[in-house]
Structure 1
């Protein structure tokens, strides 16, 4: 009982302490109401309209930010097998493995491997951008909407194309549209079903070496001649993909045999069902 009495006394003390604040709050509230009454109705309505409009705009912006893109961009050198992968992901067909694109292949669909799944599956907007050097500017049209980039490398004919592939990947990893949004990149080693294909570890190391040479040579060029928006790596350290502004992972696939599980995993990590 003594404890209850002490609490009662304490509450009474707090009530007395808060009394001046209550009076002050009532005075402020009355002043605000009086000020509102002095405002002409037209001005008051206009102020309310502006407030509502601003609130709606802010809510709309927040919704847009929350709505994640479902676009995955396939890119890489000509002959790396991007288009075969595109068709495998779309309908499970390799198209005999002899597909060459001169225009982007673009479509929104449920991944072929997920067509038998029960429940709601989010479609993927997949874009296969041609690898020919003259057609690469088309890539810039799709990067701002990309949720992820799959950079396809021919693991079978890798060594003759290592430098060209590294240059292309370097350009992508230093683009402002890619870096600012921290778009994840999958370095996909294709055609790994062949016995003579190089492993993903070998390809990763060789491309890191080439990019290390590239950043050294390009940093020696005057700033006016550099087309890249960002630089790669850490100064005075050997380059590795772990130093990139974007998350870069390495995986294997075979478009011809339909082994696309690792690229599908990447897609689903960034395009949620």
Structure 2
């Protein structure tokens, strides 16, 4: 067989398919590629969370908690104006803890760290929350919104609310139990006020750098009438713990929190 005969038998593959068939094949290939990319990025985002974030209003005790976790004792602290981070050693791994200041101009930095958060501890001064409830709830609203704003592919970080300085709460019952009850009741009441204000078309104050009114979600609940309650919050389970940096009967006031961190972070 001469070369001319061989060349005559070579037929381009594309000539054996109609334009419609090629179009369908291209579409299927594109779908497969997109599905692969989606699964890959989803897997990466699910594995992203590595940090424990300490957030909350100024003077709540975040930096004292951090120093206790790192050095096993609280160190002299002052109001922080910059983010601090340290590594703590857990029995099975090391964990980076990020302390985000509570100053109104800085606290929104939680949005910069949220995608790499394995767990979040919101610290509340239980001894002063009765008079600072609206301000504390405003800050917590920012955190709840940050969690609810994560993409569907992101595993939501675990959230614990620390009723801190529980040793300063005077009660005939357990001071930790009373501190938790006080913090939970006040925060649910104040967050419900904010939810109602927004559902009525009224912006809530203090959510921007200059205190402007703005709309912000994050308070969605599955309960009756959507009333805000931590038990029905759609962002996941919320744990409450009473804590302090005091040593009582040779037991650290952070022991329950340390156990929670070990399990959730």
Q: Do these two structures clear the TM 0.5 threshold for a shared fold by scoring above it?
A: yes
The change in CA–CA distance for 1:56 and 1:207 in structure 2 (over 3 A counts) is closer
Partner of 1:100 in structure 2? 79
**2:243 paired residue number:** 253
RMSD, matched Cα = 3.1
8 Å contact 2:244–2:253 — kept in the other structure? yes
1:67-99 CA distance string (max 9 Å, x none): 352211100010100000011111212004x33
Q: Deviations over 1:105-137 (max 9, x none)?
A: 1123314xx4xxxxxx21111100001111112
Query: TM-score by structure 2 length?
Result: 0.70
Residues 84, 256 of structure 1: 8 Å contact kept: no
Q: Secondary structure at the match of 1:134?
A: coil
Note if contact 2:100-2:110 (Cα within 8 Å) is conserved in structure 1.
yes
**1:251 counterpart SS class:** strand
Note if contact 1:80-1:154 (Cα within 8 Å) is conserved in structure 2: yes
- In 2 relative to 1, CA 187–66 (structure 1 residues): closer, same or farther, beyond 3 Å? closer
Contact 1:190 1:254 in 2 (8 A): yes
- DSSP 3-state at the match of 1:265: helix
TM-score between both structures, scaled by the size of structure 1:
0.68
Tell me the equivalent position of 1:132: 103
Paired with 1:80 and 1:203, the residues of 2 have a C-alpha distance of 12
* Greater share of helix: 1
Taking the aligned partners of 2:151 and 2:134, their CA distance within structure 1 comes to: 22
The match for 2:142 is 171
Gaps of 5+ in 2: 1-11, 15-28, 204-212
In 2, Cα distance between equivalents of 1:68 and 1:269: 17
Number of residue pairs matched by the alignment? 217
Q: Which residue in 1 is equivalent to 2:120?
A: 149
Q: Does 1:203 align with 2:183?
A: yes
1:242 partnered with 2:231: yes
Structure 1 residues 163 and 243 mapped into 2: Cα distance closer, same or farther (>3 Å)? Answer: same
Structure 2 match to 1:228: 216
Name the counterpart of 1:4: none
Q: Displacement, 1:65?
A: 4.6
Question: Could you list the runs of 5+ residues in structure 1 that have no partner in the other structure?
Answer: 1-37, 41-49, 115-120
Residues 173 and 244 in structure 1, CA contact (< 8 A), matched pair in contact too:
no
| Structure number with larger C-alpha Rg | 1
Tell me which of the two structures has the higher relative contact order, counting C-alpha pairs closer than 8 angstroms and 6 or more residues apart: 1
Which structure 2 residues correspond to residues 1-273 of structure 1 after superposition, within 5 A? Answer: 61=41, 64-65=44-45, 67-96=47-76, 98-111=77-90, 114=91, 121-175=92-146, 176-178=148-150, 180=152, 181=154, 182-196=156-170, 198-221=178-201, 226-233=214-221, 234=223, 236-246=225-235, 247-257=237-247, 258-271=252-265
